[in-house]
Structure 1
Amino acid sequence: MRKITDTPFLPTDVEIEKVSDTVSKIIAYPFESGYAVTLAHPLRRILMSSSKGFSPIAVRIAGVKHEFDSLRGMLEDVAVFIINLKNIGFKVRGTTESQIEVEYSFDGAKEIKAIDLNNSFVEVVNEDAHLATINSDCNLSFSIILQRGIGYVPSEEIRDLIPADYIPLDAFFSPVKKVIYDIEKMLVEDNPNYEKIIFTVETDGEITPVEAFKEAVSVMYSQMSVFNKVFDLSDVSLAETTEEPAEVKSLVQKIEDLNLSARSFNSLDRSGIKYLGELVLMSEAEVKNIKNLGKKSYDEISEKLESLGFPVDYTLPESIASTLRRKLEQLKA
């Protein structure tokens, strides 16, 4: 029979599955019907559009005047060299600056790959990417301006932001290559209409998928904070909802997972106590007065609570206790 509630169910679990260094799955559940897509779609958009990364925005090549020029001794035309450069992903190390300039010089016959651009300032993420092929008569000297940003900015909009002797480049800042989400139905108690979100996030290696996801969640909450200027959200602040206290997460552990004896478990179960947090919120007298709970069972439960860091009569901070009570009401609704 369907129950009437006055607040939406809050999801309780997040799992991270690392597929590779650049691909991870982030799984969250259970959501009430309709809530999964409501959250998944904007998170995907933010991941794709607002993830920060470094991109080359301009290049200066000694002896080259424009992007349609050529350089003696280099197999590729400058236009091809620029395309190859834009396909290289860069990590910037050891600085908090949003823009840096790096210089390179190559002499003699050589196939130049992305790995050859590694130095104390930058590290490439796709080391085998081809940049250029030069012969023994060529001296290839060039400078790159690397900029941190989000999204895509065409070269026309960059031209006025760089020195006149640099060639502007189309800038692709996002380190996120692909985001897919799937929504699956799942059973919660006797209700089969709850939902699970499975995000699959792929990056180019500049940042990890989990770092990109955390950044996207932060952006979502920062965008929502504009409503603080209109509404009094002091009692239900966005800051409180961004991260559930670790104590609350541990206290929603089910009693059946505590490895209690059958006698102790049955006493708690018959009294309707399903979660560790319910015991922690009780006073010593309340625990002792649980129906059919004998001294041996009380001693066992007391030892278990002590081992978990919540001895009988332990007093939770009120902010955590109130959050825990709300969580338990939702879980038992």
Structure 2
Amino acid sequence: MKKIKTSPLLPQEFVVENISENEANIIAYPFEVGYAVSLAHPLRRFLLSSSQGYAPVAIKVEGAKHEFDSIRGMLEDISEFIINLKSIRFKLKNDETDAEVTYTFTGPKEIKGSDLSNEQVEIVTPDAFLATLNEDATLTFTLKIYQGIGFVPSEDIRDELDDGFIPLDAYFTPVRKATYEIDNVLVEDNPNFEKVIMNIVTDGQIGPVDAFKNALEVMYAQMAVFNSEISVAAPTTVERVDETPEIKKLMGRIEDLGLSARSFNCLDRSAVKFIGEIVMMSEADLKNVKNLGKKSYEEIVDKVAEYGFAVGADLSDEVVSAVKKKIEAE
């Protein structure tokens, strides 16, 4: 018979694995069966669709009337130039939400993303190639750069532009990849709890952890619509306790002590699961465990001593509080 519950287990562990500056794994566990995917999937959608980023929405090239034109002395035509421009990722400085920036280059020169950085704009893909100019070439162009979310096609921008500007498809999202895996994790000998591992890769406009935080904020904001008509109790924040080596040992299970079956069963039937619970007992409390005889008592005291502790040990208030919180969370 399954254990009867009145509420699902709350996940206690949250880990960030920084793989690189623009990639990280976000790990949380343990979840009840089915809960991990229920949270991970919408978070992935919000990461890809609601993360704020920057993109050029229009370009005006001196001497070019449309995207199929060409410029004297530039190897690429305008359409190829625009394709290359899409691989360059911009970030406006000083928290600006839009900017109009003009560049002028003379040949011979191979223009890269790093050449577009100035006091208004930071380029997060400095090695991206843009264009090649011959000796007699001069290239002047103006970009309209905006902050936004998701993808906006050029057709939606065309009517809002000044004469001479060519609309561009705007890829705002700074999240290049957001995937997740669901693994099983053991909780109290039950292997059916779940761990979610979310891998996030960004283009450098924003860090993966900040992108995850923004996705959470958007998710909470979307759900706030229900608060207007339905009174919902505010969720309790799960306090995570930093585990010192001492706390980790105290949170070891009584199985780790290698007790005889009789001693183990006495503790197990009294709902004693962790070594820390024995250490925090007084000698009198341990002796009063139901059906625990003298030999079993002495065995437990000896095994706890071998583990590095003593029954009734004088632990610091911080350690006692931390162990109690973790035991309550189990």
For the criterion TM > 0.5, the same-fold answer is yes
Verify the 8 A CA contact 1:59 1:143 in the aligned structure 2.
yes
RMSD: 3.3
Structure ID, larger Rg: 2
Give the distance between the partners of 1:252 and 1:128, measured in 2 at CA.
43
1:176 maps onto 2:171 in alignment: no
Alpha-carbon displacement from aligned partner over 1:4-60 (angstroms, at most 9, x marks no partner) = 011011111111111122211111111100111111111111111111100010111
Q: Which amino acid in the other structure matches residue 231 of structure 2? A: D
Instruction: Give matches, 1:109-128, under 5 Å.
Output: 109-128=108-127
Structure 1 unmatched runs, 5+? 261-265, 279-285, 312-320
Change (3 A) 1:2 1:259: closer
Change (3 A) 1:259 1:186: closer
For residue 240 of structure 2, what is the aligned residue in structure 1? Answer: 249
For residue 142 of structure 1, what is the aligned residue in structure 2? Answer: 141
Q: Which amino acid in the other structure matches residue 90 of structure 1? A: F
Paired residue secondary structure (1:291): helix
Give the distance between the partners of 2:245 and 2:6, measured in 1 at CA.
24
Give the distance between the partners of 2:274 and 2:121, measured in 1 at CA.
50
Deviation at 1:204, TM superposition (A): 1.1
Give the TM-score of the pair, scaled to structure 2.
0.78
Deviation at 1:145, TM superposition (A): 1.0
Verify the 8 A CA contact 2:11 2:28 in the aligned structure 1.
yes
Paired residue secondary structure (1:136): coil
Structure 2 unmatched runs, 5+? 252-256, 258-265, 288-309
Give the distance between the partners of 1:185 and 1:298, measured in 2 at CA.
36
Give the TM-score of the pair, scaled to structure 1.
0.78
Give the distance between the partners of 2:283 and 2:226, measured in 1 at CA.
47
Paired residue secondary structure (1:223): helix
For residue 98 of structure 1, what is the aligned residue in structure 2? Answer: 97
Give the fraction of aligned pairs with identical amino acids, expressed as a percent. Answer: 47
1:3 maps onto 2:3 in alignment: yes
Change (3 A) 1:277 1:159: farther
Alpha-carbon displacement from aligned partner over 1:276-326 (angstroms, at most 9, x marks no partner) = 999xxxxxxx98798249xx965712xx115x5969xxxxxxxxx9xx6xx
Give the distance between the partners of 2:208 and 2:135, measured in 1 at CA.
42
Deviation at 1:164, TM superposition (A): 2.2
Instruction: Give matches, 1:151-190, under 5 Å.
Output: 151-190=150-189
Give the distance between the partners of 1:259 and 1:223, measured in 2 at CA.
41
Paired residue secondary structure (1:80): helix
Verify the 8 A CA contact 1:102 1:143 in the aligned structure 2.
yes
Task: Tell me the matched-pair count.
Answer: 293
Deviation at 1:258, TM superposition (A): 6.0
Q: Which amino acid in the other structure matches residue 31 of structure 2? A: F
Q: Which amino acid in the other structure matches residue 314 of structure 2? A: E
Give the distance between the partners of 1:144 and 1:40, measured in 2 at CA.
37
Verify the 8 A CA contact 2:283 2:311 in the aligned structure 1.
no
For residue 36 of structure 1, what is the aligned residue in structure 2? Answer: 36
Change (3 A) 1:309 1:91: farther
Give the distance between the partners of 1:214 and 1:65, measured in 2 at CA.
43
Q: Which amino acid in the other structure matches residue 133 of structure 1? A: T
For residue 16 of structure 1, what is the aligned residue in structure 2? Answer: 16
Deviation at 1:146, TM superposition (A): 0.8
1:72 maps onto 2:72 in alignment: yes
Give the distance between the partners of 1:330 and 1:309, measured in 2 at CA.
14
Verify the 8 A CA contact 1:252 1:277 in the aligned structure 2.
no
Give the distance between the partners of 1:290 and 1:222, measured in 2 at CA.
53
Give the distance between the partners of 1:276 and 1:214, measured in 2 at CA.
36
Give the distance between the partners of 1:254 and 1:21, measured in 2 at CA.
29
